[in-house]
Chains A and B, each alone.
Chain A
């Protein structure tokens, strides 16, 4: 969490002191996951000459962009002390909305509508959780079922295909070797990281997740903060839905099914505490990248797909257990 800060006005002596204090405050145990990631990257670089190529890395980023967006949204929610189990269903709804709107109006409007639908659904989650006071786990499980139903109603159970090829441009462009989905993921991550680390809003998210009652008694609007986190998660789902629909020029009602669990896994693998109030956006990013690189490694090293799933689960287990062992409780 202790990212470096720019403090241009400080004198050298002062900034040296600050730096020293920062370095002393850094706890190596907080960076176990980073070490695991680095080790994995080095190992794969040695094991496969194809790993550390721009083509491969850009490919990883592109393929994992949608899930990455969800994991960042989920990380924000988990820090705020809530879970969003509806992101998978929201991806389906937003993709379907984007495709339908693209057909009815124009591809651009369709894509924008998909993203806005995501924000809207996220806000509905926030409102539902706040006013019913249902545990977020159950609450978003329920809304996710409703949202899945909505997606089925919209599509009538069919695949919605967009014929206008400009609908697919989002998935095809690339700048500086990184595809549009990759850029969207990176920019969203940076904005979320800034929001969480630098703003009063971010600070309130940590406080609410750490102790909701103390936050309320400190004058923080707990419901509004958590609601905003759901909206951010919805925005992430909207962007992810847009990317997935654009990639295949189509959408169907079960497009996002199951994605929420991988997104939560990624957030947790990164080291964000499921008890709330602790964690960071960069951790979510690293969690996704860890899963992505592991998957990529399987492919490069020709590990049979039969075993991938199993090894995946074990690695998640090991990563989280090691992280908890290393960190103070």
Chain B
């Protein structure tokens, strides 16, 4: 950051890289996750790792961070071969890792978390003042501006990640491996994190950034390595890459990042679902919206603006305090998901893992869970019919699983999401609410899901689409509603809707905050 550090670095910058990965392989059971991967990371730069789900990027990241031991190959830190048996060993060598799963003590303060395990103490007694001093030094050096006394659990995910970054720095990390750090963040939060990454790099820390978001990689990385099917395809200067070139390398063929051609919005089709002035404290305020048959309505807004809450209210997952929901023009009383499904309203929830699927149960049981009565007689499951139904759905939705009996948790994100779609579409619902339908899904499956949503709408389904990826909303929706602080603040037709307009509406007065 300062010139002093820069010159200091210049004097002892070694020609050899900070970390070298040499011919590393790793397998899980019969699956080769990483095959003969070689990589070298320079000191003080941002190195990107791109690839589809299952390409091996996270595995490679974990090997570097000491969380997994490679089957073959070696790691060299400063040119010296090292063998990490646990993340602790990697940390001792100056390598820290930050993942989506926050590893902080929720009830402790920021400063306690940052200096956890390395607290200044005399004879086992914590020296509070010294702790604050150390924290302030770190905070100032990195310019992260964290409040020492705030309890971590009250922070948003983005701030918690920043705490993790500072904790890594406090432990003298020279290389920070970040695995999908922005997946759970809003756009502006992600942007702030990228800014922190840039600052770290300028300050001499190396960052290995694993991400699905290509724009993100391109904007912050110096070098980008692309992985496919466990192998490193190539490593190149970020400046020479484009999203298209990366996608091509990731999937090994040309696949347009474009959205399927939009069918025109249905002009005069009847309104299927309508909400009038629904409220649910403390998030949803006076929301009115309507969706026509065959129409895809996008719900945009920042994380925390109430998108998910609106979806849940419409589906009856949360009770509404006031307001009215109408189906085909007639008011309906939806007491819960059960009634909603009976009325032909289904919702694919935001989190597959937490709300969508029973991860340790087989694909088959998940597929039939919401419609088990259809493959049962008098309360007894007819296994033959259930298997037939499973085979049918697996084929129709292209769910790639070893077998219908594999636990759904062992499938890739894309196939899990397809399972979730199939589970609900068996009902041929009239209204489909899809909350983040492509989160954590690889490029190929994403495309399939986009096409599926398009087809469903064409078939006359009313679709409410929620996504943190604005491109997705703009690419698919016939009409875009923008939420801000639980209220609908703008509505655009697909012609009017541009990234700038939607973002302007979504941020509005909050831009300053």
Residues of A in contact with B (beta carbons under 8 Å apart): 2, 5, 7, 10, 21, 24-25, 198-204, 206-207, 210-211, 213-221, 277-278
Contacts and interface: CB of A to CB of B under 8 A. Distances in A.
A277 B360 contact: yes
B358 interface: yes
17 contacts: A2-B405, A7-B384, A25-B405, A199-B381, A200-B372, A203-B369, A203-B372, A210-B358, A211-B358, A214-B356, A214-B358, A215-B369, A216-B317, A216-B337, A218-B423, A219-B337, A277-B358
Nearest to B352: A214
B355 A5 contact: no
Contacts of A213: 354-355
B349 interface: yes
B383 A217 contact: no
B347 A278 contact: no
A2 B342 CA distance: 32
Contacts of A277: 358, 360-361
Contacts of A220: 338, 369
Contacts of B119: none
A200 B384 contact: no
Given A217-B337, A219-B338, A210 B360 contact: yes
Contacts of B317: 216-217
Closest 6 CB pairs of A and B: A210-B358, A219-B338, A218-B370, A211-B358, A25-B405, A219-B341
B369 A218 contact: yes
Contacts of B379: 199-201
A206 B361 contact: yes
Given A214-B358, A217-B337, 18 more contacts: A2-B405, A7-B383, A198-B380, A199-B379, A200-B372, A200-B381, A203-B368, A203-B369, A210-B361, A211-B357, A213-B354, A214-B355, A217-B347, A218-B369, A219-B340, A219-B342, A277-B358, A277-B361
B405 to A, nearest CB: 5
Contacts, number: 83
B226 to A, nearest CB: 31
Nearest to B369: A218
Interface in B334-352: 336-338, 340-342, 347, 349
Given A215-B369, A217-B337, A218-B369, A10 B361 contact: no
Nearest to A216: B337
Given A199-B381, A207-B365, A219-B338, A214 B357 contact: yes
Interface residues of B, number: 33
Contact of B360 (A202, A217, A278): A278
B376 interface: yes
Contacts of A7: 383-384
A202 B381 CA distance: 9
B417 to A, nearest CB: 14
A201 B416 CA distance: 24
A200 B372 CA distance: 7
Contacts of A218: 337, 369-370, 423
B359 interface: yes
Nearest to A213: B355
Contacts of A278: 360
A201 B378 CA distance: 11
B428 interface: no
B241 interface: no
Contacts of B360: 210, 277-278
Contacts of B384: 7, 10
B426 to A, nearest CB: 12
Contacts of A5: 383
B373 interface: yes
B392 to A, nearest CB: 16
Interface string B174-187: 00000000000000
Contacts of B373: 200
A207 B365 CA distance: 8
B351 to A, nearest CB: 9
A206 to B, nearest CB: 6
A17 B355 CA distance: 35
A2 B336 CA distance: 33
A207 B358 contact: yes
Contacts of A215: 358, 369
B365 A219 contact: no
A221 B338 contact: yes
A2 B358 CA distance: 18
B337 A203 contact: no
A133 B251 CA distance: 48
Nearest to A197: B381
B403 interface: yes
Contacts of A203: 365, 368-369, 372, 381
Nearest to B405: A25
